Amino acid sequence: MKPVTLSLMGLGVVVGLGAFGMERYVGLLLLGWLIGALGGVPMALVLQAVFPRFLRRTSESLERGPWSSLVVGVLGVLIMWLASHVAGQGHGLGQFLGSVASIGLAVVAVFGTAAAYRLLGSRMYFSMNSPRADHAFPSTLLGGVVLSMAVLLPFLGAVAFAVVLTMGLGAGLIALLGKQPKPPVVSPVPPKLS
Q: For 56-80, how does the pLDDT look when each residue is reduced to its tens digit (9 = 90+)?
A: 888 888 888 889 888 988 898 888 8
Residue 148: inside a domain: yes
pLDDT: which is higher, 23 or 51: 51
Residue 182's φ and ψ, nearest 5 degrees, are: -85, 145
Q: Are residues 63 and 100 both part of a single domain?
A: yes
Burial tier of 84 (Cβ tally within 10 Å: 0-12, 13-18, 19+)? middle
CB atoms within 10 A of CB 93: 8
Q: Show the CA angle centred on residue 101, arms to residues 98 and 105, nearest 5°.
A: 140
Let me know whether 48 and 33 are in one domain: no
How many domains, the chain? Answer: 2
Say if residue 22 is in the same domain as residue 112: no
- Whether 183 maps to a domain, the answer reads no
Q: Enumerate the H helices of 128-155 as residue ranges.
A: 136-151
**For 6-20, 75-89, 124-138, which range has the lowest pLDDT when averaged over its residues?**
6-20
Nearest residue to 116 (alpha-carbon basis) of 156, 164, 70: 164
Is-above-0.75 flag for pTM?
A: no
pLDDT digits (tens, 9 = 90+) for 135-185: 778 888 888 888 888 877 777 877 888 888 888 889 888 888 877 666 666
For residue 7, is it within any domain? yes
Q: Which of 176, 169, 178 is CA-nearest to residue 109?
A: 169
CB 130 within 8 A of CB 141: no
Range of the domain at 147: 38-177
Residue 61 lies in a domain: yes
Q: Which long-range contacts (CB under 8 A, 24 or more apart) does 135-140 make?
A: 136/48, 136/52, 136/55, 136/56, 137/45, 137/48, 137/49, 140/41, 140/44, 140/45, 140/48, 140/114
Three-class DSSP category at 40: helix
Contact 167, 62 (CB under 8 A): yes
Claim to verify: residue 87 and residue 14 sit in the same structural domain? no
How confident is the model at residue 24, as a pLDDT?
53
Give the pLDDT band (50/70/90) at residue 10: very low
Q: What are phi and psi of 9, to 5 degrees?
A: -65, -40
Q: How are the residues of the chain apportioned to helix, strand and coil, as percentages rounded to the nearest 5?
A: 80, 0, 20
- The answer to whether residue 187 is domain-embedded is no
